[in-house]
Amino acid sequence: MFDKIMKLSGAEGRSMELKLHKGTVGPEVVDISSLYREMGVFTYDPGFVSTASCQSAITYIDGDKGELWYRGYPIEQLAERASFLDVAYLLLYGDLPQQSQLAEFERIIRYHTMINETLKNFFNGFHYDAHPMAVMVGVVGSLSAFYHDSLDIHDPRHREVSAHRMIAKMPTIAAASYKHNVGEPFIYPRNDLDYCANFMNMMFATPCEEYAPDPLAVKAVNLLFILHADHEQNASTSTVRLAGSSQANPFACIASGIASLWGPAHGGANEAVLEMLQEIGDASNIDKYIARAKDKDDPFRLMGFGHRVYKNHDPRATIIRKVCHEVLDNMDAKDSPLLELALRLEEVAMQDEYFIERKLYPNVDFYSGIIYRALGIPNSMFTVMFAIARTVGWVAHWMEMMDDPQQRIGRPRQVYTGAGKREYVPLGQR
């Protein structure tokens, strides 16, 4: 793995050689795993800005060029030509499936789309207006109580079955959380529909009349799921890996990923963007909100802008922006004012020195909510949509980590800044 050396000298005359490694592409990494043993020091990197936590062959991002590859395939090509399950197979197994492999994978996923009937009672334990992400965290975390036959994480076949179950059941659980929210009966999955059409049917069909998912809407969901499927070691994927490193069961690990994704700094941003656009309301207010975003004394941030890795355009945002017009025009959606406002907001921000200097561009969350709304999906379900798609990335990384012979429990250290050692003070003397 290593081919170059970096010499390090520290206090008390201590020195060591650090090995450098270069992956297929991307920055070289310095192996510091023996640093503390050899030099008695830790590294310090809040937010892991310069830290590689693992080796992975799943996704590559070049933040400066604005490039994103799934198993080497540029996102633009997959977005244009693949189905979501085509991409799911690619992320899980490393290559695009042949016809027969894809057909078998689609059959397996279809076979697992139902959820245990008693799980429906769990939904009733939530107040009707519970946020769907709260429901998702709870219900997904409970799955290990139902699927005892695939919980031996040391058995590769169990791991694969759990991965298939997670991918298959997320749309069913997501649609059920929506139906609970709107007080409508759950709609069962249908084996005659593909993954995205099945999801739209479970979301919007009712027992009262025939419902056929709009092919344009299904095409848009397929695209959005592909764009959100994976993104290397982001916060929620790293959460799944850290939870998995303790050998927790896969359902608990995915539930931890859902919880992390919910934050407005991460996947919760798509919902926050729509709330921000609705609060801005009109292009005449843009300057006021841009000023607030720049004001260090104001906690307001331009939601959907900025990214830890992309210091250029997020290729996913570029694709979604393009599709917005197509979807809104063809769905004769009423939300074109929101899209016009978003486009104007981007235009103003991109001309402002503050955003230019900090390389703050629209990210994947800036435009996605506009399309979701045009499809009839409410704001509170936007991050749930993200979670359905990202489940594929989460389980792919979980499987990769569990297959890694170097895998061990993740246990970062710290810089202690608390009190020095001191004696207990009895209550009467405090």
Residues annotated catalytic, as ranges: 307, 365
Q: Which is nearer to ligand SDX, 213 or 362 (CB)?
A: 362
Binding flag, residue 103, ligand SDX (CB under 6 A): no
Rounded to a whole number of angstroms, the minimum distance from the CB of residue 265 to ligand SDX is 4
Which helix (H) or strand (E) segment is 260 a member of?
A: helix 250-261
Binding flag, residue 266, ligand SDX (CB under 6 A): yes
Q: Which is nearer to ligand SDX, 290 or 375 (CB)?
A: 290
Single out the segment in contact with ligand SDX by CB under 6 A; choices: 7-15, 133-141, 322-330, 360-368: 360-368
Alpha-carbon distance of 89 to 105, in angstroms, equals: 7
Single out the segment in contact with ligand SDX by CB under 6 A; choices: 36-44, 307-315, 372-380, 413-421: 307-315
Which helix (H) or strand (E) segment is 177 a member of?
A: helix 156-182
33-92: contacts with ligand SDX (CB under 6 A): 47
Rounded to a whole number of angstroms, the minimum distance from the CB of residue 309 to ligand SDX is 6
Binding flag, residue 315, ligand SDX (CB under 6 A): no
Q: Which of 113, 150, 249, 363 binds ligand SDX (CB under 6 A)?
A: 363
Q: Which of 175, 220, 360, 384 binds ligand SDX (CB under 6 A)?
A: 360
Alpha-carbon distance of 186 to 173, in angstroms, equals: 10
Please say whether the beta carbons of 319 and 76 come within 8 A. yes
Q: Which residues contact 271 (CB under 8 A, 6 or more apart)?
A: 264, 369, 379, 380, 382, 383
Q: Which two tokens stand for residue 227?
A: 């764009």
Q: Please report the sign of the dihedral spanned by the C-alpha atoms of residue 358, residue 302, residue 220, residue 85.
A: positive
Binding flag, residue 364, ligand SDX (CB under 6 A): yes
Binding flag, residue 304, ligand SDX (CB under 6 A): yes
Left if phi > 0, otherwise alpha if psi is -120 to 50, otherwise beta: which for 32? alpha
Binding flag, residue 110, ligand SDX (CB under 6 A): no
Supply the DSSP symbol for 30: E
Q: Which residues contact 295 (CB under 8 A, 6 or more apart)?
A: none
Single out the segment in contact with ligand SDX by CB under 6 A; choices: 21-29, 183-191, 274-282, 298-306: 298-306
Q: Which of 229, 303, 395, 401 binds ligand SDX (CB under 6 A)?
A: 303
Residue 5 forms beta bridges with which residues?
19
The contact set with ligand SDX (CB under 6 A) reads: 47, 231, 234, 265-267, 269, 293, 301-309, 358, 360, 363-365
